[in-house]
Chains A and B, each alone.
Chain A
């Protein structure tokens, strides 16, 4: 199996690092909705879907140095329990996620996601009664059953409640202490950060 040719590698990708290559590249599940024969692939960086070739070529390593050359990743392979995988990660950033009206909390490790989209998809999986709808410039979270709209909010290091999505992803991971999906009707008064700080979404 030969890797695809790499035409150009940015400097940062040739940096040698020992140890855990970081949380990226690990795709131990796709959403339950994908149908696949032998292989299931989600390329986390390119967000493209796979080919079904049994002997899949390795993807090229244009990925960031955080993700090693991602071969076609397959659900549940190698067969290591999720519990063990997360326990061995060492650092992790677990935050509680609460949904207004739901009787239970969930915890997520923010470090395994790379974008708001990934996080919201994961939340969609965890709270199966929710659906994420992507509109222009914003994402809505809707309860399937009764149509109630939720707004994702988080508590930051300073104890303030902010809207999720207003700061770059990494900044969010660093400052987030807990997440709350608040009913839209109650989410008045939560202002996005002022443009002076940072207004880019990721």
Chain B
């Protein structure tokens, strides 16, 4: 069904339509199709992140009789209840007006991938019976200090509308949103049946806000705070959960870096028989962990706090709790994380659960490969593994002192192999591995890291079912990346971060083009890609030619010319999220994406070669695109180049809450 729409529908998992040419200024032509009852209706664009433009008129011929239509709609509603995937729902809503209406009435989970793409009122106007809301705000590069604070993504306007529109709301999931204590207070007061709150990478509130949630949401099952900043208002929120048995199933607060009232927590766990997931913060000691585990052997997901004895010296005669027994008693444990400030001696306590583990997060644990191996060699069922690799001394300063340099090079070699060894152990045991993340413990550029292409090669040979990898390293070779491309054919997510900028293949001195080229060519399921190292336009040529399913692409310090970006924008029809920094792409490249920008959730380009003029042209050509130019300070930029361009489709036009350092081009 061909349609001219002002906004192309596309939600996150929507892989339907190829890009359409969209002419600005042209009135949308209404496609007429007949529905079952003989009405002429307009095809309507719809997605959760962009509903029908208000200006699309609908013509309806007379009803023969209202009764059959109502029956039809009721039948439809009952059938559509069973559609859960939003991709399916979007498709259903396009069939005809009647289906659109029925779908809107039966959609219970609202997913909004960009909180500025649609206003709360518009969302409320279309979807009347929502029980669950997912809202995403800032773009991902904001996590790395590339965006000044107070840019936006406020939850406030949303919670006000939600409170009025959906008093039966049960679930809220927010990612990269700015939330205040008042917002949480309003949320807690407005929804009597509220069940699940998940906040990922959010900020702006404190333990005060948590206190509202704990005390007022009596039906609360899930309170998950993940990598979210929570200020310490010195409020004892843990003791504010209601007395008596709770409904709590999941309590994740490892990122809440405040001391908590442990006695209250212990009592809470004791009266929460449904608790399955518990992730503690580093203020909970291992002894306290023991007491909690003893009360909750039914746990499936456990995040330890500080994993080692506290500084308070144990009194003589004080026996250590039997940690091994505590772990052994948790027969359902499948996911372990935490291990902050770890004392490796205590690692042996987790041996009893290793055989059942499907997910293990050691990314905050400073352990050596030798300490890791006895754990890993038992983890035959492991599917998800996150690990941090400790950094090593930087010996580059000893260039002049050749003797030392020689000695250090030998040590480096040995240490390299040790840490790659850890990965080799993983490769040898974890045949079910689906997801691997290797983080740098000390995230600097120049420190020689202990994982390299050896580790990557080993993983590619051992873990053939790998679907997702995030791998930080200092150096890499094309050969290892090519090996991964041919061994791990299930890869959907490939994110390689060679921390040294512009680093070539360290064995051949070549750019990393061929490695990434092989990934896009061989991994037919690839939807997410992050590139790094020395890359020429050729790499982007490969991406454009072979990356037909790629939805998210991250580029940093790469490419030679506008051609690089052109290849991608012209070649990748499924591209939805494109984030680029410090790459030499300019206005001409930007223009080459005009046919596609309405299909995308956003484009981010910082420290590239875009001029204000070039961005202005885009803004003028595409009225439904919000084109934000972000400065890092209040002064006018004196450079000709735009520091940051962030643009996204939206039905609402320029937002009204933009701070001073954001200019929205028209």
Interface residue B446 (Cβ < 8 Å from any Cβ of A): yes
Is there a chain B Cβ closer than 8 Å to A44's Cβ?
Answer: no
B634: shortest Cβ distance to chain A, in Å? 8
Q: Is the CB of A17 within 8 A of B144?
A: no
Chain B 241-262 near chain A by CB (<8 Å), digits 1 or 0: 0000000000000010100000
Quick one: given A5-B400, A32-B632, A84-B439, are A37 and B639 in contact (CB under 8 Å)? yes
Q: Is B146 an interface residue (CB 8 A)?
A: yes
Inter-chain CA distance A81–B244, complex, in Å, is: 38
Most buried by A among B400, B445, B639: B445
Report B646 CB to chain A, min CB distance, Å. 14
Residue in B206, B557, B632 whose CB lies within 8 Å of A33: B632
B393 in contact with A74 (CB, 8 Å): no
Please tell me if the beta carbons of A68 and B633 are within 8 angstroms of each other in the complex: no
- Whether B445 contacts A106 by the Cβ 8 Å rule is no
Contact among A3, A21, A55, A71 with B442 in the assembled complex (CB-CB below 8 Å):
A21
- Is residue A18 within 8 Å, beta carbon to beta carbon, of the partner chain? yes
Is B501's CB under 8 angstroms from A68's CB? Answer: no
Q: Is the CB of A68 within 8 A of B144?
A: no
Report Cα–Cα, A84/B394, bound state, in Å.
21
Could you tell me if B440 and A78 are in contact, using CB atoms closer than 8 angstroms? Answer: yes
Residues of A within 8 A of B635 (CB): 33, 35
**Contacts A38-B607, A68-B444; is A21 near B397 (CB within 8 Å)?**
no
Q: Which residues of A lie under 8 Å from residue B341 when comparing CB positions?
A: 90
Q: Does A14 contact B (CB under 8 A)?
A: yes
Scoring A34, A38, A106 by chain B CB atoms within 10 A of each residue's CB, the highest score goes to A38
Say how far A123's CB is from chain B's closest CB, in angstroms: 14
- Which chain A residues numbered 99 to 124 have a C-beta less than 8 Å away from chain B? 104-107
Among A21, A37, A75, A79, the one with the most B-chain Cβ atoms within 10 Å of its Cβ is A79
* Inter-chain contact B445/A78, CB cutoff 8 Å: yes
A51 vs B440: C-alpha distance when bound (angstroms): 27
Q: DSSP majority for the B interface?
A: loop
Q: Which of A76-102 contact B (CB under 8 A)?
A: 76-85, 87-88, 90, 94, 96
- Asked if B560 lies at the interface with its beta carbon under 8 angstroms from chain A, I say no
Give the size range of A's interface with the partner. 35 or more
Contact between A105 and B388, CB atoms less than 8 A apart: no
Is A9 a contact of B145 with CB atoms below 8 Å? no
Judged by a CB distance under 8 angstroms, whether B637 is at the interface is yes
In the complex, whether B351 has a CB less than 8 A from a CB of chain A is no
Q: Does residue A20 face the partner (Cβ distance < 8 Å to B)?
A: yes
Distance, CA A34 to CA B637, complexed state (A): 11
Task: Tell me the B121-156 residues at the A interface (CB within 8 Å).
Answer: 141, 143-146, 148
Q: How far is the CA of A179 from the CA of B375 in the complex (A)?
A: 43
Q: With an 8 A cutoff between CB atoms, is B239 at the interface?
A: no
In angstroms, Cα B396 to Cα A25, docked, is 14
Complex interface: chain A residues within 8 A of B637 (CB): 35
Q: How far is the CB of B481 from chain A (nearest CB, A)?
A: 18
Query: Are A35 and B443 neighbours in the complex by a CB distance under 8 Å?
Result: no
Residues of B within 8 A of A75 (CB): 144-146
Does chain B have a CB within 8 A of A139?
Answer: no
Determine whether B510 belongs to the interface, using a CB cutoff of 8 Å to chain A.
no
Q: A37-B607, A96-B232 are in contact. Are A87 and B340 (CB under 8 A)?
A: yes
Q: Is B322 an interface residue (CB 8 A)?
A: no
B42-63 interface with A by 8 A CB criterion: none
Nearest-Cβ distance from residue A150 to partner chain B, whole angstroms: 20
For the complex of A and B, list the 6 residue pairs with the smallest distance between their C-beta atoms, beginning with the closest: A61-B397, A76-B144, A68-B394, A80-B443, A33-B633, A78-B499
Could you give 7 example pairs across A and B, Cβ below 8 Å? A9-B401, A21-B447, A32-B632, A61-B396, A69-B446, A79-B144, A105-B234
Q: Beyond A68-B444, A73-B445, A87-B282: 20 further Cβ-contacts under 8 Å?
A: A3-B397, A5-B400, A9-B398, A20-B391, A20-B441, A26-B442, A32-B148, A35-B633, A35-B643, A70-B446, A76-B145, A77-B556, A79-B141, A80-B439, A84-B364, A88-B366, A88-B439, A105-B231, A107-B232, A107-B257
Chain B residues engaging chain A, CB cutoff 8 angstroms: 141, 143-146, 148, 201, 206, 227, 229, 231-234, 255, 257, 282, 340-341, 363-364, 366, 388, 390-394, 396-401, 404, 408, 439-447, 472, 497, 499, 501-502, 556-557, 581-582, 607, 632-633, 635, 637-639, 641, 643
